[in-house]
Each structure stands twice: as C-alpha cells, then as structure tokens.
Amino acid sequence: MTLTPITADLSEFPDELHEILRGARLYDSSCSQEARVIFIDRDSGYFLKSAPTGSLRKEAELTRYFHEKGLAAGVTRYVTGGRDWLLTEKLRGDDCTAAKYLERPERLCDALAERLFLLHAADCAGCPEPNRTASYLADAESNFRRGHYDLDLFPDSWGFETAEQAHSIVLTSGHLLQADTLLHGDYCLPNVILDDWRFSGFVDLGSGGVGDRHVDLFWGAWTLNFNLKTDKFRQRFFDAYGRGRVDEARLRVVAAVEVFG
C-alpha cells in the first residue's frame, strides 16, 4: 500500500466526518479510479473511502456483516449524499502485497488458499446479498450488450479469442454456477490483511455475498499470477484449498463472466 501525504479542506467532506478529520494527518491510499481512499492517522487509524452516490451502500452492509463474523474491520460511519463516504477502522497488519509476504511466495500461496477455505466454510445465513450469482450473471449480460469486455485476464489458460466466444460460455453454462457459499468477491492479495502472517481481516467487500466459490478461486489464482509475475502457483493454490472442491468447468464459466467485468 502506498501512502501519499495530502492536505484537505474540511468543506469537501460531510459534517459528520469533520471531527475525526480535524487535525489528523491524512494520506491518499487510492488504488483505482472508481473510488478515493484516504488513510486517517488518528487513534489506531481509519480508512475513508468515497465514491459516487449509492455505490458504497452494499460495501457498507457487507463489511458490517463480515465484521460481525470477525472477518473485517468495523464500520464507523456510512454517509450518503452528494457522494458516498465509508469510514472503517484500520485492521492490524499489512495487505498481502507487502514485501515480507511476497518474498515467501509458497507460504503466501498456502495462506491465501487456507484462509479462503475457512471463509467458504463460514455460515452465510443472514447475508445482505443472498444471491450474488444472479446479479453476477446479469451484470455480465449487460456489459456484453454495452461492449464492455477484457479478453486478457488469463490469456494463457482461460483466455477467449472474442467477446462472443466468452458470451456463448456464459449463456450455455452459466446455470452451473451456484449460490451456496459466502464469498469475498474480489479475493486478491491487496484485500487480505495479515498481521505477521496471522489473519487480521478482509477489505473491499463490495463484490461479496452468497455465490459460487469458484469466483474467489478464480481471483485467488489470478492475483498470485499477477502479483508474483508467474502462474506456477495456481495448481499449488488449488491443492492447498482442496483439489476435490475445484471444478474446472465452473472455473471456465467464471473466467467467461469476468471477461465482461
């Protein structure tokens, strides 16, 4: 995580956030164009995410749900108006892109797989997103019709030559995806926080809910390939998770869906 010192005018923020921002050291820690994230260096630390109105509601609900299970930081405030603002406590430790974790790739791979297995074994009763699979498939169809796609997620394995080819897989095999497992939804190294290898919690839970475990398996394999600059850990990751629970047919469906973002 990169932290860049910033100054901010309190008038840019909702009144409800002024007290916690006033006098605190602030750092930009954004990693995407969709949302801005500010680290607030006060008490044990806070993260403040802002994004267009309504876009953080689901993340706030899911973060609270995961927090109740001991799997995420506490939500301090969710404010909506001209923009959405989500204030969460800082978890102890660092995300899995920290050098001390990347320098031990075998241990990191196994830890990522074992933590995912434990997440998928959790009770998903009462989840505020009870059928993520339905919206997941609907989003893929909508994005296909809008011409929004990326064929390069896994060009050497699950890559598709055309958007139409990927869409065909979604249409013919999308029914294979189930909605029976609590998912992170974006299971990547920056979204898993470890405190000296001890699990601390998950962040960025806006794509979570009850869905098919192969969504997280896909992203777990993807992030090891992307962050370690090699795909050699994919099979180790699946073995550590439990090879008998990995269905290549469903992984291919997920890969096809993910073509459409």
Catalytic residues: 186
Name the nearest CA neighbour of 101 among 89, 120, 88, 115.
115
How far, in Å, CA of 241 to CA of 234, rounded? 11
Residue 17 DSSP symbol = G
Is 112:208 a contact under the CB 8 Å cutoff? no
Strands (E), the chain: 4-6, 25-28, 36-41, 46-52, 75-80, 83-89, 94-95, 181-183, 192-195, 198-202, 209-211
Measure Cα distances from 105 to 108, 166, 203, 237 in Å. Answer: 5, 31, 21, 11
Measure Cα distances from 232 to 37, 222, 238 in Å. Answer: 33, 11, 11
Name the nearest CA neighbour of 84 among 57, 46, 47.
57
Measure Cα distances from 228 to 12, 98, 222, 257 in Å. Answer: 38, 12, 10, 24
Residue 44 DSSP symbol = T
Q: Name the burial class of residue 244, with classes exposed (0-12), middle (13-18) and buried (19+) by CB atoms within 10 angstroms of its CB.
A: exposed
* Beta carbons within 10 angstroms of residue 113's beta carbon: 22
